[in-house]
Amino acid sequence: MAIRKIVQYPDPILKEKAKPVTKFHARLHKLLDDMAETMYDAQGVGLAAPQVGILKRVIVVDIGDGLIEMVNPEIVEKSGEQISPPEGCLSIPGLVGEVRRANKIKVVGQDRYGNPMEVEAEGYLARAFQHEVDHLNGILFIDIAERVYRREEEEEEA
């Protein structure tokens, strides 16, 4: 495993749409392992492959309940609504935003071996999945936030 460099905004790769994964082999497994290690090292809760410079539909998420890897994720159901406690991004350090997202979602995709998988998520986990799937579609939280501000402003208001 290796820690990869996280691509920083405004790198244009962050605005591109990632390609579906069709080969489930050792290189994909290494990418997933490296992404998890990179996410943990950066103290994040999610990471999408474009954030490490790879335009493939691959994400990792861990909000503290254990690692979830998903290949070719697709949100197939959404319900409810939540506005974030400030949402941030490893590719946009220093900025946070208030983003309106679904409160409950169902995500379908594949595991690292190509087997179908499904995750039903609510609250913070739903938010993390939506954020990472947005990355695969070239959408950043600053594109859809109702308010974006520096993290220091949040601390000053507290």
User: Catalytic residue positions?
Assistant: 132
User: How far does the chain reach from its first CA to its final CA, in angstroms?
Assistant: 39
> Is 3 contained in some domain?
no
The annotation status of 89 as a binding-site residue, yes or no, is yes
The annotation status of 25 as a binding-site residue, yes or no, is no
Provide the pLDDT for residue 152.
Answer: 78
Residues 86/75/19/40 CA torsion (nearest 10 deg)? 40
Phi, psi dihedrals of residue 132, rounded to the nearest 5° = -70, -40
Q: What pTM does this model have? A: 0.95
> Is 153 contained in some domain?
yes
What are the pLDDT tens digits along the chain (158 aa)? 899 999 999 999 999 999 999 999 999 999 999 999 999 999 999 999 999 999 999 999 999 999 999 999 999 999 999 997 899 999 999 999 999 999 999 999 999 999 999 999 999 999 999 999 999 999 999 999 999 999 877 556 65
Q: Please give the tally of structural domains in the chain.
A: 1
Look up the domain containing 144 and give its range.
12-157
Q: What is the tens place of the pLDDT at every residue in 10-55?
A: 999 999 999 999 999 999 999 999 999 999 999 999 999 999 999 9
**Residue 109 belongs to a domain with what CATH number?**
3.90.45.10
> Is 1 contained in some domain?
no
DSSP string of the chain, one letter each residue: --PPPPP-TT-GGGGSPPBPP---SHHHHHHHHHHHHHHHHTT-SEEEGGGGT--BSEEEE-SSS--EEEEEEEEEEEES-EE-S-B--TTSTTEEEE-EE-SEEEEEEE-TTS-EEEEEEETHHHHHHHHHHHHHTT--HHHH-SEEEEHHHHHHH-
